[in-house]
């Protein structure tokens, strides 16, 4: 009989768990996507700032010098291809690049010539590079150096590039 009475009583269930927040547990469980994106953006900005502090300024100067030399060499090459009656030469000194037309500098005609580099940048070997009417020259290599060095190749076909 006792067993029968126990079976007829409703089973007692455990007390519900109380949450300290008034929001449902599904909203309190994790970070929102917006919060994660904001944190990632802030970390990316900080990483860029810290990286720029550790990079050496000479690497930027060296890259800028190499691009300026290549640009000036291509300008001399274009002059040679456009005007076959004159002899255009790229003059390379220890810290200066200039374009000579029949042995005379074009600095009076072009405001950005000669190109002078800071004392941190050195060019070697000092040489004169001449271009024919097709823009071709002999195969040569120019070394541009600061704390590190970058080579510029002048191909016989007329191609001028980093190598």
CATH code, 79: 3.55.40.10
pLDDT on residue 7 = 56
Indicate if the pLDDT at residue 106 is higher than 70.
Answer: yes
Q: Is 134 a domain residue? A: yes
The answer, yes or no, to whether residue 3 has pLDDT greater than 70, is: no
Q: Would 110 be classed as within a structural domain? A: yes
Instruction: For 121-145, write each residue's pLDDT tens digit.
Output: 999 999 999 998 898 998 899 999 9
pLDDT tens readout for residues 65-102: 999 999 999 999 999 999 989 999 999 998 999 999 99
Establish if 67 belongs to a structural domain.
yes
Q: What is the pLDDT of residues 6-57, one digit of tens each?
A: 556 555 565 665 555 566 666 566 778 899 999 999 999 999 888 877 766 6
Q: Is the pLDDT of residue 162 over 90?
A: yes
What residue numbers bound the domain in which 113 lies? 57-162
* 161 closest CA partner among 59, 62, 65, 74: 74
d(C-alpha 140, C-alpha 39), whole Å: 51
Q: Per-residue pLDDT for 110 more than 90?
A: no
**Position 32 in a domain:** no
Q: Are 135 and 81 in contact (CB under 8 A)?
A: yes
Per-residue model confidence (pLDDT) at position 15: 62
pLDDT at 12: 59
* Sheet with strand 160-162: strands edge to edge: 122-124, 140-145, 149-154, 160-162
Residue 119, domain member (yes or no): yes
68 lies in a domain? yes
For residue 112, what pLDDT is reported? 87
pTM tops 0.75? no
Which pLDDT score is estimated for 21?
58
**Beta carbons of 71 and 90 less than 8 angstroms apart:** no
Helix, strand, coil shares of the chain as percentages rounded to 5? 40, 25, 40
Task: Answer whether residue 13 is part of any domain.
Answer: no
Write down the pLDDT at residue 90: 94
Q: How many domains does the chain fold into?
A: 1
Which residues, including other chains, have CB under 8 Å from residue 79's CB and lie 6 or more apart?
Answer: 86, 88, 99, 101
């Amino acid at each position: 009989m006792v067993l029968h009475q126990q079976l007829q009583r409703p089973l007692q269930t455990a007390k519900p768990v109380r949450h300290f927040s008034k929001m449902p547990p599904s909203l309190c469980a994790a970070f929102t996507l917006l919060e994660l994106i904001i944190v990632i953006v802030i970390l990316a900005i900080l990483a860029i700032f810290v990286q720029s502090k550790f990079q050496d300024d000479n690497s930027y100067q060296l890259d800028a010098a190499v691009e300026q030399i290549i640009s000036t060499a291509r300008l001399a090459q274009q002059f040679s291809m456009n005007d076959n009656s004159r002899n255009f030469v790229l003059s390379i000194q220890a810290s200066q690049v200039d374009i000579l037309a029949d042995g005379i500098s074009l600095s009076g005609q072009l405001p950005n010539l000669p190109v002078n580099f800071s004392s941190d940048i050195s060019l070697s070997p000092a040489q004169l590079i001449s271009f024919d009417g097709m823009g071709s020259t002999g195969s040569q290599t120019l070394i541009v150096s600061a704390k590190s060095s970058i080579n510029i190749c002048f191909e016989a076909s007329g191609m001028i590039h980093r190598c």
